[in-house]
Structure 1
Amino acid sequence: MISDAARAALADWLAAIKAQGGAADHTLDAYARDLRAFLTFMTAHHGASQGLGALARISTADMRAFMAHERAAGLGPRSLARRLSAVRSFYRWLSEREGFEPTAVLSARAPKYLRKLPRPLSEGAARDVLDTLDTQAPEPWVAARDVAVVTLLYGCGLRISEALGLNGAAHPMGDTLRITGKGGKERLVPVIAPARDAVTAYARLCPYPVTPRGPLFFGVRGRRLGARAVQKTMAQTRAQLGLPPSATPHALRHSFATHLLNAGGDLRAIQELLGHASLSTTEAYTGVDTARLMEVYARAHPQGRG
Structure 2
Amino acid sequence: MSVGVSPAARTAMALWISHLRAIDGAASHTLTAYSSDVAGFLAFLHRHRGESLGLAQLAGLGQSDMRAWMAHERNRGLSGRSLARALSAVKNFIRWLAAREGFDATHVLSAKAPKYQRKLPRPLSVEAAAEVLEQVEVQAQEPWIAARDSAVMTLMYGCGLRVSEALALKGSDAPLPEVLRIRGKGDKERLVPVLPAARKAVADYLRLCPFPMSRYEPLFRGARGGPLNPRLVAKSMERARLGLGLPATATPHALRHSFATHLLAEGGDLRAIQELLGHASLATTQVYTAVDQARLMQVYQAAHPRA
Which position in structure 1 is the counterpart of 2:300? Answer: none
Stretch deviating more after TM superposition (185-194 or 278-287): 278-287
1:200 aligns with 2:203: yes
Q: Sequence identity of aligned pairs in percent?
A: 60
Residue 58 of structure 1 aligns to a residue whose secondary structure is: coil
Q: TM (normalized to structure 2)?
A: 0.92
Q: Within the alignment, does 1:41 sit opposite 2:41 as a pair?
A: no
The answer for the alignment partner of 2:81 in structure 1 is 78
Q: 2:217 aligns with which of 203, 214, 223?
A: 214
Are residues 1:157 and 2:160 paired? Answer: yes
1:116 correspondence with 2:108: no
Quote how far apart the aligned CAs of 1:221 are. 2.0
- Say yes or no: does 1:268 pair with 2:271: yes
Matched residue, 1:256:
259
Give the superposition deviation at 1:213: 1.1
Moved more, 58-67 or 205-214: 205-214
Are residues 245 and 67 of structure 1, via their aligned partners in 2, closer, same or farther at CA, if it must alter by over 3 Å?
same
Distance 1:138 1:228, change over 3 A: same
Alignment counterpart, residue 192 of structure 2, candidates 176, 189, 192: 189
**Distance in 1 (alpha carbons) for counterparts of 2:134 and 2:294:** 33
In 2, Cα distance between equivalents of 1:268 and 1:135: 36
Query: Is the contact between residue 265 and residue 292 of structure 2 (CA under 8 Å) also seen in structure 1?
Result: no
SS in 2 for 1:177: strand
Matches within 5 A, 1:48-63: 48-63=51-66
Q: After the TM superposition, which residues 1-306 of structure 1 pair with which residues of structure 2 at under 5 Å, given as runs? A: 1=3, 2-20=5-23, 22-285=25-288, 287-289=291-293
State the Cα deviation string for residues 174-214 of structure 1 (Å, max 9, x = none).
11000111111111100000100000110111112221111
Give the unaligned 5+ runs of structure 1. Answer: 294-306
How far, CA to CA, are the matches of 2:111 and 2:295 in structure 1?
36
Whichever residue aligns with residue 229 of structure 1, its letter is L
| Deviation at residue 291 of structure 1 after TM alignment | 9.1
Q: Is the 8 A contact 2:62 2:107 kept in 1?
A: yes
Q: CA deviation at 1:87?
A: 0.3
Question: How many pairs align?
Answer: 293
TM-score normalised to structure 1 length: 0.93
- In structure 2, distance between residues paired with 1:15 and 1:144: 40
- Supply the RMSD in Å over aligned alpha carbons: 1.5
| CA apart distance, 1:284 | 1.4
Please list the CA deviations of residues 105-131 of structure 1 after superposition, one character each: whole Å capped at 9, or x if unmatched. Answer: 111112100111011111110110011
Q: Which moved more, 1:257-266 or 1:74-83?
A: 257-266
CA contact (8 A) 2:139 2:146 kept: yes
Q: Classify the secondary structure of the residue corresponding to 1:70.
A: helix
Secondary structure at the aligned position of 1:174 is classed as coil
CA distance in 2, matches of 1:98, 1:280: 32
